[in-house]
Structure 1
Amino acid sequence: MNEIIAFVKANCSDKNKIRSVGFFPLLLTATFLCVPSSGDQFTSVSRADRFLSLFSIIRFKNAMCSGPSGLSGTCYTYKSCVKNGGRATSSCANGYGTCCVTRLSCGGRTTNNCTYIESPNYPDFFNEARTCVQTISLNSDACQVRLDVTEVNLVGPDSKGNCNNDVLKFSQDIKWTQVCGITRNTHFYLDVDPTVSGTLDFTFTTDGTSFNRRWRIKVSQICCTKLSMAPMGCGQYFTSTTGSITGWNSQGNPDFYLSGQNYAICLRQELNTCSTTYLETTPSGNSFYPVCGDTLEWPGVHQANTVTQKDETCKPGGAFAFFSPVEPYTIQQQGPHYFYFVTKDTSNEHTRIGTSADNINIQYTQNSC
C-alpha cells in the first residue's frame, strides 16, 4: 500500500481537503486536523514503513517547479495533478510529488495554480472567427491573479484604440475593458474577489479578418496574505532594480494604445537604492503623449526641453501641452513610484502627431545610494 491518504490545498485555499483511502481513516483525519493553517500550500502523503511504524506522514510544499520546454508547474501528487487537468512531468519533493504543468485551451477549466492559457494548437497560428473561453477556478482566499504574458497576437485596435475585430475580456477586474493587438514578454495584475464569482473567465473573440493569431499567458493566483501581492489598483508591479515597462499592444504595428484602460504602474523601491532613472525606449525614438482626455501621469516632476513640467502629459489638437522625457530622467523620492494611465475617451485619434509615439515603452534603473 503505497498511498494511504493524501490531501491537496490546490492553490491558496484556507481549508484542508482530506481524502482517505484504505485503513485507519479516522486516525489519519485526526492527525491532519492538527496541522496549523498557513499561507503556504502543502500536500501530505502517508506511506507504509515496516521498520519504524505502521505509517508515517510526509508533507511537501506545493512549490513552483520546472517542467518541460521551460514551462513552470506546481508540485502536486500525481492523482491530484491529473484530476484537475494537469500533466504530470518530472518528480519533485524527493519523489513524493510530480511537477504538474497545466495548459488550458478553448473551453478548458482548472483549479490548478500556475496555469497556461493557450490558443488552439499553440504554438501554431490560427486564422478564423471563434469565441474561446478559458476558466480559472479561484481559491477562497485569492485576492489577485498575475498574468505573465508570453505573447498575445490578436488583430490590433483602430486608430482610436478600440478593439473592433478581435478582443480579450476578463470576467473580473475593471482595469481593462478590452484588450487586443500584439503584446509580448510583460506582466499584468487582476484584482479578484471569489465572493463575487468563484471563477475568472478569459474570453477571446476573433472575427473573420485574415490574421495570424495565437496566445500564451501564465496565470498565477496570489493569496491575500502573500507579500508578493501588488498594491491594490496596480495593473503592473515591478520589483527588480531594472526592467522595461510596456503596455498592451506595445509591439503592435501600429502600436496604438488602447482605450478603456484605468490602472497604475507601480515600482517597489529596492533596498540600498536612493533614486530611479527612467528612459523612454519607444521604437520611433520619440516620447509618448496620450491625447488630452486621456492621462499618463509620471511620478514626481521632470524636466524636458530644459523646462520643468508637470507630471501629467497629454496632447491637445497636436500642440504639446506637457512633455514626457526622451532623455534620461532621475528622481530622488523614495518609493514606491506610481504611473497612472487612464484612457477613457474612445473618440480621440491615437495616431502620431509631431514627434510623439503611440504607446508606453520605458526602461527604468534604480540607482545605488
Structure 2
Amino acid sequence: MRNQRTGLKICIKMLVILALAASTHADTITARNQTDRFLSLFSVVRFKNTGCTGSSGDSGTCYAKHTCLFNGGNLEGTCAGGFGHCCVTKIGCGGVSRNNCTYIESPGYPNTFSTAMTCKQTIMFNRDVCQLRLDVTEVDLAPPDNRGMCLEDVLTFSQDIKWSQVCGTTLNTHYYLDVDPDTSTKLDFDFNIGAGPYPRKWKIKVSQICCDQLSMAPMGCGQYFTSTTGTIKAWNTDSADRVYLHGQNYATCLRKEIDRCTITYTETMGDWFLPRCGDTLEFPFNIIQQNNPATGITCLGPGGVSPVLRPATASLQGPQQIYFVTGDGTNNHVDVGQNSNLDLEFSQGAC
C-alpha cells in the first residue's frame, strides 16, 4: 500500500510539471485538496494570459500572482474566476518592462513637473515581436517653434524612423512603431526635457504585437484604423497653436470594412489642412483639389491661403493610405489656415 501511494504522488507531481511546461501564454497554479486524510491531492488550474481591467481603470494582463510580482507588475483585482490577478504594469524614468501592456509615465503622474532632466523608459520584447502599439492618453511637452522644430523638449525612439522628434500636446490617439528584433530586442523612449517653466506630463500604454498576429498593422503605417469611423491625428494636434512637426515620415492606414463602399473625410477645424510647400500630404485620390476647387493647390506658400472646408467623399475599393512627410525644416508652419496640423474625421459609408 505504501509503495502504491508513493507511486501515485510521483505521477501527480509529473502531471503538474508537464502542465507548467505546456504553454508560454498561460499561467498554471496548483490548489491543494486535503479531503483525503492519507494523501494530499493537487488540482491543476490553467488560464490564459488575457487582457483585463484593473481597479485603477488601467489595462492589465491576467497572471498568476507570482508571475505578476516577478515581472514588476501591480496586483489590481482578480480574474480567471479568482485564480488569477489583473496585473497592471507602470514604469517611470529608468524603468524597464518585459510585460505586454506596460504604461510609461512621467515623474509624479498625473501631476506635472518643470525640471530639466533626461528620462529613459525601456520596453523589452521577444524575437517574435514586430510592432509596438502606443495608446496615448496624453503627451504634454513644451511646444515646437513655428517651423515645427522641437527645441526645448523632445521625445525620440531608439527604433523606427517615422518620427524623428515629438513634442507639444497630443491626447487620446494611437500610433504604431515597427521594431526589428534582429537589430535589438528593446525599444527606448528617450525624453529630453528643457529647463523652461512649461508643465510637462505623459502617459502612454505600450502593447507588443507578434509578427503573426492579425492585429498587426501594415509595415510603415504610423496609425492603423480597423473601424468604420475614427479620427486621424498627427502629433501635436491638441496644443494651442497646433503646429505640425518637422521630421515626420509615415502613412495613416485605414482598412476597408465589410459592406462599405465609400469614405468621407471631414476636417475638425474651420479650414482644410494643407502643409507648406516642401512638405507632403498625399491622399489615394484627389481630395485636396476637391476641397480647394478654386485654386487646385496642394500646398501653401509663405503667403498662406484659407482652403474651403467641405467634406470630401470617394469610392472605397480597398485599403486607404494617407502619406504625411515633413522634412524641410525651414518653412513657417504657423497660419496654415485655422488648422495647422493633420486632424481629420473619417466615416465609411454603406454600399
Global fold match (TM > 0.5):
yes
Following the alignment from structure 2 to structure 1, what is the Cα–Cα distance between the partners of residues 13 and 118?
Answer: 46
Q: How does 1:269-288 map to 2 (within 5 A)?
A: 269-282=256-269, 285-288=270-273
* Residues 69/36 of structure 1: CA separation in 2 closer, same or farther (3 Å cut): closer
Q: Deviations over 1:212-252 (max 9, x none)?
A: 10000011001111111111100001111111111100011
1:43 maps onto 2:30 in alignment: no
Alpha-carbon distance in structure 1 between the residues aligned to 2:316 and 2:244: 28
SS of the residue corresponding to residue 81 of structure 1 reads helix
User: Alpha carbon RMSD of aligned pairs, Å?
Assistant: 2.3
The match for 1:3 is none
Aligned residue for 1:124?
111
1:350 to 294, 314, 333: 333
Q: Does 1:290 align with 2:275?
A: yes
Question: Which has the larger displacement, 193-202 or 147-156?
Answer: 193-202
Aligned to 1:318: 303
SS of equivalent residue, structure 2 residue 231: strand
| TM alignment of 1:1-369, pairs within 5 A | 28-32=16-20, 35=22, 41-49=25-33, 54-282=41-269, 285-302=270-287, 303-306=290-293, 313-318=298-303, 326-353=309-336, 355=337, 357-369=339-351
Runs of at least 5 residues in structure 1 that lack an aligned partner in the other structure:
1-21
Structure 1 residue 48, shift from structure 2 partner:
3.2
What CA distance in whole angstroms lies between the structure 2 residues aligned with 1:46 and 1:160? 60
The unaligned stretches of length 5 or more in structure 2 are 1-9
- Give aligned pairs, total: 337
Task: Output one character per residue of 1:264-317: Cα deviation in whole Å (capped at 9) or x when no partner.
Answer: 0011111121111110112xx11111111110011212313446958xx32233
The amino acid that maps onto 1:360 is: L
Aligned residue for 2:238, secondary structure, equals coil
Taking structure 2 as the reference length, what is the TM-score of the superposition?
A: 0.90
CA contact (8 A) 1:279 1:325 kept: no
- For the residue of structure 2 that corresponds to 1:135, the secondary structure is strand
Distance 1:212 1:149 in 2: 18
Residues 88-143 of structure 1 show CA distances to partners (whole Å, capped at 9, x for unaligned) of: 11101111110001111111111111111000110001011001111111122111
Distance in 2 separating the partners of 1:214 and 1:32: 41
Q: How far 1:359 sits from its partner (Å)?
A: 0.2
Change (3 A) 1:118 1:243: same
SS at match of 2:56: helix
